[in-house]
Amino acid sequence: MPKNGGMCMHDEAAPHYIDMIDQTTLGHRFIKAEFNITPTIGWQIDPFGHSAVQVYLLGAETFAGAFPEAYEPPNGFYFEVNDDSPIVQDDINLFDYNVQDRVQDFVDAALAQ
């Protein structure tokens, strides 16, 4: 079950927007019935990218996530073409290893919001 409470990953298994809404509703009802919990955060990592509808629907859901301002990563963590966000260098043998610093930057951004 994806982190948004749906029953499947939207773009792969339910690509039409009505199906996206239906499967998320089904997933939320299941969670409420089985655990008496209402999802309050949504996050879906999709290595193939999201459709425009997926982005809109995740942005429209009323979740109280760590980055509520938009369906975007915090500043400094965008990693797209022509973006100047610092990379995460996780090879400890290289001179620019920076995992602890980048994790702290992310935590600071979350706390700031």
* Catalytic machinery residues: 46
91 contacts: CB under 8 Å, gap ≥ 6: 97
Comparing CA positions, the residue from 42, 46, 54 lying closest to residue 17 is 54
CA-wise closest residue to 50 among 23, 6, 84, 11: 11
